[in-house]
Chain A
Amino acid sequence: MIHAAVEILLAEDNPSDVELTLRTLKRSNLLNTVHVARDGEEALDFLFCRGPHAGRDFAAPKVVLLDLKLPKVDGIEVLEAIRADERTRLLPVVILTSSREQADVTSSYKLGVNSYIQKPVDFEQFQETIRQLGLYWLVVNQPPSEG
């Protein structure tokens, strides 16, 4: 299956965070359908089938895990673009970030983020959080039906 539908789009620039997140997802048996975008621009290109992803048929993932501090286009801007597009207006987006600045939390919720999760320093907590996230958005939650 080369073109298995992508279920999780992970937008994260830090390689260590990517590695730790992927490992956790793998441990939770959720790895097979993750696409990693290393900056905001790539994340949007992937989502909307532009640039290097021009050939892809549009198919929204089940959830986007979005870091706030991303090169080129930051997380808030990515979220804005997602909410502005009719096709992805209802796409579940989870902000996953180191920041616990109130300003970030507020602007994320204003833009209609589905959850805002601060990555815990403690790895066990981190693992647990990621596992819960994956389970909730991929297994428990029914994706919004396309209208």
Chain B
Amino acid sequence: MLVSAAALVLASGAFTAYTWLTFRAAMVEQLSVQARIIAFNSASALLFNDPVSAQKTLGALGASPSIVDAAIYDNGGGVFARYWRGRKSLIKAFPQISKSQTEAHWYTHGELSLARRIEPQGKPLGVVLIRCELGELTTRLEGYAAITAAVLAACLGAAVLISAGVHRSVSVPVIRLAETARLVSRDKNYSLRAAATGSRDELDFLIQSFNGMLEEIQQRDASLQKAHDELERRVEERTGLLHAANKELEAFSYSVSHDLRAPLRHISGFSKILAEENRDQLNADGRHYLARIEEGARNMGRLVDDLLSMGRISRQEVVRRPADLNLLWQEAWERLQPEFEGRKIEWRIGALPAAECDPGLIKLVFTNLLSNAVKYTRRRECAVIEAGQITVDGEDVIFVRDNGAGFDQKYAHKLFGVFQRLHREEDFEGAGVGLATVQRIIHKHGGRIWAEGKVECGAAFFFTLVPRKPSRPKPANSVSS
């Protein structure tokens, strides 16, 4: 709107200026022609010193109403003949024309003056001067200006009308559409609709497509929300069940911890008292049986304790934070030190990485693996226990290795089961809960654990702490019946 107005004003300005310039040029041309005619006709009058005839020639100028006055000067600069209209001529001075020119013109107070040498066949006889007023020019110019202004006004009016129309039929709907889009994206409210224009044009088509899109999004949103709610509800339900189961398990282990241990304590206590106070009434067999009873009670007490702690660990949440595995190993090592005091063990401990893990639980892993390594190398003159990190298939794997009693690789899969043991109680005491606990902890971290062993050569345990990155897909199970 502003731009078109500016363009119009500029155009009409240029037009007016152009008209003004051409008019002036035309005026000068017209005067020049008249000056030439007068110069031609008055040459002989000047030559023969006949002012009357020159006067007559000048009088012909009366036909041009815009000419105010005119004069013919002789070579001496005196006025030879003169013409004027209305009031007395103001011409006094002899007009100066530069040597190189035969004609000159200039403007003064709304008047145009033109002087021309009178020199037939190059012989200078005098000068003719004509003055005309520019009133005509101004009048015509005013006429033109009025027309231009009228056209300008009409154009501007039309532009305003058109732009208002465009504003109403294009801009307003587009702005409303944009506003709707903005609101939709801000509030995620897909039930909003852009207002239709009512006309059947491209814009209306655009708005309808936009609304159609919103409709679709709204529907998808609704079904997504429904699926989400359903899922949420199910998760809640399952979580509730899980919580209930967990609570039950907790209550169970709580009562086990209280109630199962008490009778064990009584068995142990009373058999001890019996052995003490009735020693003399018992024969060797009786004393042996009593010792067995006591041992059984003690073992069961240990089992109950191990089971309870495994249950506790199973229920415990893994809380990952950055931890230095070297430190955890060191702490486990220090805690177990009483178990291997006085033994000859060669330690080969490599650098362990820092890892995001539950430090308490991983320390327990190290404690269990280390305690096994110490236990199962007991018969070695010189035990060697190694720990460190290796990379297998791009995965960081931590290992603990010893040169102890080892086990038959055939049974390696059984190691991690609860109460599963590969050694006899007489050879190596134990409950068979340690590795089961270790495996639970590793699995809770998303890692894997496996073992390698050879009878009387040693055993090695390997584990990872993060889920394996998905690489090549596993080949489908090809076992067919």
Contacts and interface: CB of A to CB of B under 8 A. Distances in A.
Contact of B265 (A20, A23, A68, A100): A20
B269 interface: yes
A128 interface: no
A123 B258 contact: no
A101 B251 CA distance: 11
A16 B269 contact: yes
A101 B249 CA distance: 13
Interface in B293-329: 294, 297-298, 301, 308
B257 A122 contact: no
Interface string B274-299: 00000000000000000000100110
A101 B315 CA distance: 13
Contacts of A123: 265, 268-269, 271-273, 294
Contact of B272 (A14, A16, A120, A124): A124
Contacts of B268: 121-123
Interface size bucket, A side?
Answer: 10 to 19
- Residue among B266, B269, B298, B301 facing the most chain A CB atoms (10 A cut-off): B269
B21 interface: no
A99 B254 contact: yes
Chain B interface main SS type? helix
Chain A interface main SS type? loop
B270 A16 contact: yes
B257 A101 contact: yes
B418 to A, nearest CB: 20
B448 interface: no
Nearest to B277: A23
27 contacts: A16-B263, A16-B266, A16-B269, A17-B262, A17-B266, A20-B269, A97-B258, A98-B257, A98-B258, A98-B265, A99-B257, A99-B258, A101-B257, A119-B261, A119-B265, A120-B265, A121-B264, A121-B265, A121-B297, A122-B268, A122-B301, A123-B265, A123-B271, A123-B272, A123-B294, A124-B272, A126-B269
Interface of A: 14, 16-17, 20, 23, 68-69, 97-101, 119-124, 126
Given A97-B258, A126-B265, 12 more contacts: A14-B262, A16-B262, A17-B265, A17-B266, A20-B265, A20-B269, A20-B270, A69-B258, A98-B257, A122-B268, A122-B298, A126-B269
